[in-house]
Structure 1
């Protein structure tokens, strides 16, 4: 059904006169008559009945009117929302892996001088890749990506493996250290539900070293807190969060792991000028 014809129907039902309704609607009376006749043909029943020079709703028209008000109200809300989308600046939704959320991403936004509204979500890389593809996020910061022709992504920073120790630890002054030396101290590791646990195990396995953690934790915030309070040391990918704790990060001598962080987005999409400029700036620059 034509939404304009439903508006005409509602107005005629209210004023009950073709001439008056046509004037209010700013259309010709024959045009209004044609619209009502079209609606009646679509419904297969008469919607109005004549009462002298006036008209009133038929019993069928009264039934239709019950839904028309709801339809027109919903359509008005839709028009208002669409107008709001046209006038409001687009909020950029950023999905980022945890290592970059607290430090690097805010610094990138600040260095660029971002003035667009944005919201940041902490997610795992597979969740970010999926969110980018289904339109949940506009920009992603990931440690790696599921390969997809729908995405474009570019490296912005490399990471490295470090052992984190509390201030005052015997290893504190070392500039680098071997895994065999690290393994002599109690180890704190990620729990088996964390994607980083496999990484930690691979690092030690490559050197033929077996370690049994003294304790485990799901989140890096908890691990750094345990290290800070003397429960042990931990081999971790270097993350900005380490700088916010009373601990020291010492690069580990290993060649099996090098990680790159990427900025990513869907190849095609509607973007604001600021969002596009931000992505292109970091596509060409690295931290």
Structure 2
């Protein structure tokens, strides 16, 4: 069984040092600023582009990364004339550095929340989820707490929760993180988004295979797991059409579908929110529904989060057909 990457505090010489035993066992104090610099270079594979994104000079960035390598006593990058590549140690460190930065941001958000007083709660939600019943149930229980609503997108819901930017959220699964706690709420059937002139636009329901000749619009920056659930794939027996354009929001999606660039799949509650001339939503008959869940950080010990979870569960028990 794969045990996952070793922690940054590991003294195993093969983790960040060389296999010949040159790694040192003495712990070091990692500078979060240098971690951000390293991640910026690693993601762009280029010191110049990373420096521009960080609003600093390239020589200054190079010095900071060199100092990080000296602190770790390992080479993180192989420098080439036009770009850089990560060494095996660099690949490992990129994984851990991202986790450390996320944990640092989460600690900052939670500490500030506590410092502001235990009378605020931020609740995230994705488009088409109705938070009214849950928020009302919580507010009846804790009228002294101010609830702030924060709109999330499919590409940032996991990061926003992991960082602690919101305390709890109504999100669509899958999330791709084992560090989050999940309480499933309800299922959402999918609808195909078709131009009004599509041959299947007048159907009460449509089978997925019937759309095999249509390009399918892609959720931009979506994980493979997300696309598997929410971007239904009609081309299982071999594609007949290439993928459609990637979209970032419903306006882009509707624009592409209306222009005949392809079809798309959205949860039925999202379809209900966006009636549009020239666009037709048709339920898909033969794909499993997606899942909406209440999600919060597994490390969050906030009493308010616990009370909101209890209030949401109570609202769902009171009306099983509601979508709290």
More helix by share: 1
| Mapped partners of 1:261, 1:239: distance in 2 | 12
Deviations 1:237-270 (A, max 9, x none): 3153322232332222434x44211101234422
Within 5 Å, give how 1:1-287 maps onto structure 2. Answer: 85-86=116-117, 90-96=119-125, 100-101=126-127, 103-109=128-134, 112=137, 114=139, 116-124=146-154, 127-142=156-171, 143-148=173-178, 151-167=180-196, 169-184=198-213, 186-190=214-218, 193-195=221-223, 203-213=233-243, 215-227=245-257, 229-243=258-272, 244-246=274-276, 247-255=279-287, 257-267=288-298, 268-272=300-304, 276-284=306-314, 285=316, 287=323
Residues 139 and 264, structure 1, Cα contact 8 Å, conserved in 2: yes
User: How far is 1:190 from its partner?
Assistant: 1.6
Figure out how many residues of one structure are paired with residues of the other and give that number: 194
| Mapped partners of 1:152, 1:207: distance in 2 | 36
User: How far is 1:180 from its partner?
Assistant: 3.0
| Mapped partners of 1:201, 1:84: distance in 2 | 41
Deviations 1:68-109 (A, max 9, x none): xxxxxxxxxxxxx999834xx62222233xxx33x3244445
SS in 1 for 2:256: helix
Structure 2 length-normalised TM: 0.48
| Mapped partners of 2:114, 2:247: distance in 1 | 48
Q: 1:194 to 1:151 in 2, by over 3 A?
A: closer
Residues 224 and 242, structure 1, Cα contact 8 Å, conserved in 2: no
Residues 141 and 262, structure 1, Cα contact 8 Å, conserved in 2: yes
> Which is higher, the Rg of structure 1 or of structure 2?
1
Residues 219 and 231, structure 2, Cα contact 8 Å, conserved in 1: no
| Mapped partners of 2:210, 2:162: distance in 1 | 44
Alpha-carbon RMSD across the aligned residues, in angstroms, is 3.7
Structure 1 length-normalised TM: 0.53
Q: 1:211 to 1:168 in 2, by over 3 A?
A: closer
Structure 1 unaligned regions, length at least 5: 1-80
| Mapped partners of 1:201, 1:156: distance in 2 | 21
Deviations 1:161-191 (A, max 9, x none): 321124464423312112332234x435126
User: How far is 1:223 from its partner?
Assistant: 0.8
| Mapped partners of 2:151, 2:231: distance in 1 | 28
SS in 1 for 2:181: strand
Residues 156 and 282, structure 1, Cα contact 8 Å, conserved in 2: no
| Mapped partners of 1:197, 1:152: distance in 2 | 21
Structure 2 unaligned regions, length at least 5: 1-111
Deviations 1:122-155 (A, max 9, x none): 1446x5444434433210222223453x543111
| Mapped partners of 2:150, 2:262: distance in 1 | 30
